Amino acid sequence: MFNIINRKTLLVYGKKYPAAKNAFSEWYYEFLVSDFKSFQELKVVYANASIVSDNRVVINIMGNHYRLVIRVLFLYKTIQIKWFGTHAEYDKINVKNIKFKN
């Protein structure tokens, strides 16, 4: 099981993107009970996931309409939600250093 930091982030993005709230929540609960030991294991379930620097992983939500950027520490079973937004918004960020802003 993964510890996802911080659940408040999920609520903020759920309010900002109500059309994606259910899909985002589904991702959250899937990861809570997952037991990925490596990016390769994660990729089996999330085939479109991409890894970038600093253990950051980009996951498509609702097909390719939304993107989720997380930092995954497999050894410690910890995930930080770094960013969530539309595909168009994703194209405007630097995924390597984007941070959650409330």
Answer yes or no: is pLDDT of 6 > 80: no
Q: Report how far residue 63's alpha carbon sits from residue 4's, in angstroms, rounded to the nearest whole number.
A: 22
State residue 51's pLDDT score: 95
User: What token pair was written down for 63?
Assistant: 């097909």
Residue type, 88: A
Strands (E) across the chain are located at: 3-5, 50-52, 56-61, 66-73, 78-86
Average pLDDT, integer, range 6-19: 88
Q: Write the DSSP symbol of residue 74.
A: T
Q: Report how far residue 15's alpha carbon sits from residue 44's, in angstroms, rounded to the nearest whole number.
A: 30
What proportion of the chain, given as a percentage, has pLDDT over 70? 99
In this predicted model, what pLDDT tens digit does every residue of 23-63 receive, in sequence order?
988 999 998 899 999 999 999 999 999 999 889 999 999 98
pLDDT band at 102 (very low <50, low <70, confident <90, very high): low
- At the second CATH level, the architecture of 3-90 is 2-Layer Sandwich (3.30)
- Mean residue pLDDT of the chain comes to 91
pLDDT band at 11 (very low <50, low <70, confident <90, very high): confident
